[in-house]
Amino acid sequence: MDHRIQKRSKRSRWSRRRENLRFFIRSIPWRLLILLPVLILVAIPTFYFGTHSGQRVLPAVTNFFYNLTGPPPAATPTPLPPFPSTLPQMGSLLYTVQAGDSCDEILAVQMRMSDASTIFTDVKPNTIQALNATIGHDCHALQPGIVVALSPQYPLIAIGGQVLKVAATTPQQVLPTPLINVSHQQQLGADCSGSCLLTVRIAPGAQIHLTVQTTLPVRVGSWVWAQAQLARKSIKGFDTYPYANPLASLNGMSLRACDLQVDNTHDDHSLSCDQLMPNTIDDDRGAWLFGVTGASSLDHWKYPLHMAAGTRVLLWLTSNANGDLRFNHGNPIFRYDDTTHVYVRV
């Protein structure tokens, strides 16, 4: 008896469920049943397309506002200055020995080398031998009428050129967010506050390697102006030998820069030339500078030389109280004579 009652109870529950299901289905509008599959078919591709489009559009919009509010690119000169038709020439000038002259006195008076007796000393015979080879005579056997060759001590050179390569010791760090694609062109340049080695074209077919230390950004294509310390001739056991090798070529030479300008901006905090050791600028109260007159070289410094463009010159720069080098009226000027291959006074 109980078994039959339980069986009828189960049938009753299943019957009610079927009736509820039929009632629910009848309560749904038939148009909605037709519309649901259509909505599903449209929603899936729409979601897929929107997701991928958003991944492209959002970074682009973010990058647009980043560029809009970011710092402007460093200015570059337009157009670049022309390359010089000739390059500075290393060389010496001639002096005729007078009665009572000594090598120390000649160097101190004619070349303004106040430390001559310290740099060239009998205590170190190799230094005197090097000086004898430079001037072409024995300093201990000078006679009136002898002509000696005098070279500028720790000479500087005035150069301008286009940067072909930047090798930075502390490259600029770019830290983009995940949504911003920072391109190479957006970088302002290499960080040369520690030091950079620049490859610079100074004339068609002529390049130098210029070591600079500056807070200005330096990029490939920048134009740099600099006064730089010429590479000196290497003499064994004489690290402070003060003269450049007159036969050395500028092409491929390694130089250290001072008084630096990058594009249109002068670095007022770059190394001064008396910081490029060794030198005697402070003791001598100045320095010798090789250069070429004209818009692509010495005219940049606005020295009042009043000489034809393309003239290779050697001139004396006076050091002021701040260590800056200036050309003053009355300072010695020499021009290079292509016939005698020496510098003659102007």
Q: Do 51 and 115 sit in the same domain of this protein?
A: no
Residues 6+ apart with CB under 8 A from 318: 285, 286, 325, 326, 327, 328, 331
Between β-strands 254-262 and 206-212, what pairing exists: parallel, antiparallel or unpaired? parallel
- Choosing from 105, 135, 150, the residue where a domain stops is 150
pLDDT tops 90 at residue 68: no
Q: Is there a domain that residue 82 lies in?
A: no
Q: Do 173 and 278 sit in the same domain of this protein?
A: yes
The per-residue pLDDT for 85 is 83
Q: Is there a domain that residue 88 lies in?
A: no
Note the pTM of the prediction, 2 decimals: 0.71
The per-residue pLDDT for 173 is 46
| Closest of 152, 150, 143, 144 to residue 94, by C-alpha | 150
| Closest of 283, 274, 285 to residue 116, by C-alpha | 283
The per-residue pLDDT for 153 is 94
Q: Do 116 and 47 sit in the same domain of this protein?
A: no
Averaged over 143-150, what is the pLDDT? 94
The per-residue pLDDT for 291 is 94
Q: Is there a domain that residue 80 lies in?
A: no
Q: Is there a domain that residue 336 lies in?
A: yes
pLDDT band at 176 (very low <50, low <70, confident <90, very high): very low
Question: How many structural domains does the chain have?
Answer: 3
Q: Do 139 and 169 sit in the same domain of this protein?
A: no
| Share above pLDDT 70 across residues of the chain, in percent, rounded to a whole number | 71
pLDDT band at 320 (very low <50, low <70, confident <90, very high): confident
Averaged over 310-336, what is the pLDDT? 91
**Residue 228: strand pairing partners:** 157, 257
Phi/psi at 170 (5° precision): -130, 80
Domain span at 294: 156-345
Q: Do 185 and 327 sit in the same domain of this protein?
A: yes
CATH code for the domain of 142:
3.10.350
pLDDT tens column, 274-304 = 888 898 998 999 999 999 998 878 988 989 8
Q: Is there a domain that residue 79 lies in?
A: no
Q: Do 144 and 162 sit in the same domain of this protein?
A: no
Averaged over 51-63, what is the pLDDT? 59
**Residue 210: strand pairing partners:** 198, 255
Token reading at 206: 């002529």
Of 253 and 41, which is predicted with more confidence?
253
pLDDT band at 84 (very low <50, low <70, confident <90, very high): confident
Least confident of 56-60, 206-210, 269-273, 307-311: 56-60
| Closest of 302, 298, 301, 300 to residue 335, by C-alpha | 298
Q: Quote the mean pLDDT of the chain.
A: 81
Q: Do 338 and 254 sit in the same domain of this protein?
A: yes
Q: Do 277 and 321 sit in the same domain of this protein?
A: yes
Q: Do 232 and 312 sit in the same domain of this protein?
A: yes
Q: Do 337 and 212 sit in the same domain of this protein?
A: yes
Rounded Cα gap, residues 216 and 262, in angstroms: 7
Of 68 and 332, which is predicted with more confidence?
332
Q: Do 165 and 106 sit in the same domain of this protein?
A: no
pLDDT tens column, 182-215 = 444 335 677 888 888 999 999 898 999 999 998 8
Q: Is there a domain that residue 273 lies in?
A: yes
Least confident of 37-51, 112-126, 145-159, 275-289: 37-51
Q: DSSP letter at 4?
A: H
Token reading at 125: 């015979």
pLDDT tops 80 at residue 273: yes
Rounded to whole angstroms, the maximal C-alpha distance in the chain is 153
Q: Is there a domain that residue 186 lies in?
A: yes
Q: Is there a domain that residue 20 lies in?
A: yes
Q: Do 37 and 102 sit in the same domain of this protein?
A: no
